[in-house]
A and B are shown apart, each in its own frame.
Chain A
Amino acid sequence: MTEAKRKRCLLQGNEAIVQGALAARCRFFAGYPITPASEIAEQLSVRLPAVNGTFVQMEDEIASIGAVIGASLAGVKAMTATSGPGFSLMQENLGFACATEVPCVIVNVMRGGPSTGLPTGPAQGDVQMARWGTHGDHPIIVLAVSSVLDCFTITVKAFNLAERYRVPVIILSDEVVAHTRESVELPLNSEVKVVDRIAPAMPPDWYKPYQEDARGVPPMASFGDGYRHHVTGLVHDQDGFPTQNPQEVEKFHLRLSMKITKGLSDIQLTKKYYMDDAELFVVAYGSVARSAMRAVEEARQAGIKAGLLHLITLFPFPRRTLTPYLQQCHSVLVPELNLGQISREVQRVNQRQCAVVKLNRVDGKLITPHEIYNRLVKLDAGRVG
């Protein structure tokens, strides 16, 4: 029935992120224009007011994420979108959102770096910054998109994870995904599963905004709904007030990490192609995963037992998914548009079980299926990189 009403449309990745955000009931966007992310802001400026939402263009990226956190604290699902330099500016407040457990979504359409870098070419240089850009130990969720349809579904997923775990979720996109137009069939709003944060159910006097419980994710009250509480980026106790008591400080850190660890199976998303009998495999994400898919198909046609592990969740790094394949295969190829930011993770998990081979490009151009295919052929023949 509903199938009939679905519409096919020709969309860019950035546009699909907008659609995904609206479907996930995002009702607030604050941002600062930057290539190649600007279309997200432009479209939301038109569409948010029509659904009683709010768009605001701030004076810079620091202000943008500040406003996003403020809006989320007031009970509205909120996001921002930027590119490398803007993402650098957001790091301090990103840490604030981690420490205060404020759900929000930050899209980084990656561009070449460092500095102003290469604004109009694809790159994947911000992977480790997404993980470790803000100071201190903290958990974070980083998702990567590789197609227009992904941009929709992963954005919905990002909001759902943000709300469920009370964390900022980062979506890494790249110029190719952002600006390629594809024909996609998006689900209807009624078909999209949307998760909302859990509101406190106890009387206001009993509410402890950061109370430890089995799930590790305390219910979240919004400003104005009667549960007056204090929010601070200082290490705080379960009442939300600053503390230096070593026991409370440790508890604070451990709970932040624990809530993510408990959700690993829900958070760590991967897609597997031809992995069951693979003898060698590719680990890829973002636009590179599309090239890798094609290369693996061609390799299979050539009789090479290649597979693809397509990472959607980059952090927390899906170690448990990867490990069995590192034991099963003789080599793993990690193509990336950087000098090796996820291959480090693969190496860390690998513990010398199989050969980890890098394939890197940092010239602002895509890694082609052909390049990956050639490496697979070599690896298959020589069983070394």
Chain B
Amino acid sequence: MPPSIQALTHKYLRHNKRFPHVWCPGCGNGIVMGALLRAITRLELEKDEIVLASGIGCSGRMPTYLDFNTLHTTHGRALTFATGIKLANPALNVVAIMGDGDATAIGGNHLIHAARRNLNLTAIIINNSIYGMTGGQYSPTTPFGSTTTTSVYGHIEHAFSIAELTVTAGASFVARSTVYHAALADQLIEQAMMKPGFAVVEIISNCHVQYGRRNKIGNAVDMLASFKEQAVTVKRAATMEKEELRDKITIGVLADRDLPVSTDEYKRIREQARSKREEK
């Protein structure tokens, strides 16, 4: 039996924090937070062993509410702070929570280099295709043709595929889910946190307030329904033509490979440096 939401709430929410939270009713951020907590429960990790770092934006507020070691950094930089934390104390389980604008626009460079560097970190990227907190401007994942407050004539740029990007950049583990597929999201986060090396979970989420409404997709429920419609598993996607896949969301594990993890490799460097010093 999975733990009830109430049990998780009591265990992990900071009751001394001044609730209510800042999220709009129905926002996908809450579902991702639930998925993260369920994954952590299943992994049986102690609260002190976990560090959550976030950037700026609606998703950036998530760590504030949770009773771990938590860090709300500058915009786009969550992974850089996470890198320092992990290198300074490799025993900690460090999870970075980012939005699409955070992780792929201002933080795009850090994302590809974190993947390339392959430290043992977990990145959860909540992709709602929009800048929610600043009022609905287009992000690097806003689909071509969409309407946003900075693309009222229709968006003329093309969207990044976050998961595919990080596969190419060299992450050890890359997976995608949507907030409709919450149970899958739990599972993928759990797998990501267990995986040695840089692990990315992209979760397609709804910002019905800024994106759904403006693009006539509807409210939170309508957006979840659209994710259900659009989702195809990695397995099925492999059998489909490129054209058929155009408006689909591929969900599941996109990459899972064993690469040297730089947190471990550095131990070797230390030994080498020490023995060199002793020789002297």
Contacts and interface: CB of A to CB of B under 8 A. Distances in A.
Interface of A: 27-28, 30, 46-50, 52, 54, 56, 58-60, 62-64, 66-76, 78, 92-93, 96, 222-226, 228-234, 239, 241-242
Interface stretch (B73-81, B211-219, B242-250): B73-81
Interface in B82-128: 82-89, 91-92, 109-110, 113
Contact of A229 (B69, B82, B274): B69
Given A223-B69, A231-B71, A56 B83 contact: yes
Given A56-B87, A70-B84, A71-B84, A49 B272 contact: yes
A92 B106 CA distance: 13
A63 B87 contact: no
Interface string B177-201: 0000000000000000000000000
Contact of B88 (A47, A59, A70, A232): A70
A74 B51 CA distance: 10
Contacts of A68: 84
B88 A76 contact: yes
Contacts of B129: none
A343 B26 CA distance: 58
Interface residues of B, number: 43
Given A50-B274, A76-B88, 18 more contacts: A48-B273, A49-B269, A49-B270, A50-B276, A54-B87, A59-B110, A63-B109, A66-B81, A66-B84, A67-B81, A70-B87, A72-B84, A96-B73, A224-B69, A225-B48, A230-B64, A230-B70, A241-B64
B64 A232 contact: yes
Contacts of A224: 48-49, 51, 69, 89, 91-92
B260 to A, nearest CB: 15
Nearest to A70: B84
A52 B269 CA distance: 10
Given A56-B83, A74-B84, A223 B274 contact: no
Nearest to B69: A223
A222 B68 CA distance: 12
B269 A71 contact: no
Contacts of A225: 48
B277 A75 contact: no
Contact of A59 (B16, B48, B68, B113): B113
Contacts of B53: 70
B173 to A, nearest CB: 21
B84 A78 contact: yes
Given A60-B109, A228-B47, A230-B63, A73 B83 contact: no
Nearest to A60: B109
B266 interface: yes
A96 B74 contact: yes
Secondary structure at the B interface, as helix, strand, loop or mixed, is helix
Contacts of A223: 51, 69, 71, 85, 89, 92
A285 to B, nearest CB: 30
A133 to B, nearest CB: 14
A54 B88 contact: yes
B83 A74 contact: no
21 contacts: A30-B83, A49-B273, A54-B87, A54-B266, A58-B83, A58-B113, A69-B81, A70-B71, A70-B87, A70-B88, A71-B87, A74-B88, A78-B84, A93-B77, A223-B71, A223-B89, A223-B92, A224-B49, A224-B92, A230-B14, A239-B16
A27 B18 CA distance: 37
A228 B68 contact: yes
A228 B16 CA distance: 13
Contact of A66 (B73, B269, B270): B73
Contacts of B47: 228
A334 B72 CA distance: 43
Contact of A69 (B17, B84, B113): B84
A92 to B, nearest CB: 6
A85 to B, nearest CB: 16
A40 B41 CA distance: 44
Nearest to A76: B88
B115 to A, nearest CB: 11
Given A28-B84, A63-B113, A96-B73, A241 B274 contact: no
Contacts of B110: 59, 63, 66
B74 A93 contact: yes
Contact of A50 (B68, B91, B270): B270
B67 interface: yes
A95 to B, nearest CB: 8
B54 to A, nearest CB: 9
A298 B233 CA distance: 82
Contacts of B68: 228
Contact of B17 (A67, A71, A241): A241
Contacts of A228: 47-48, 67-70
Contacts of B51: 74, 223-224
A45 to B, nearest CB: 9
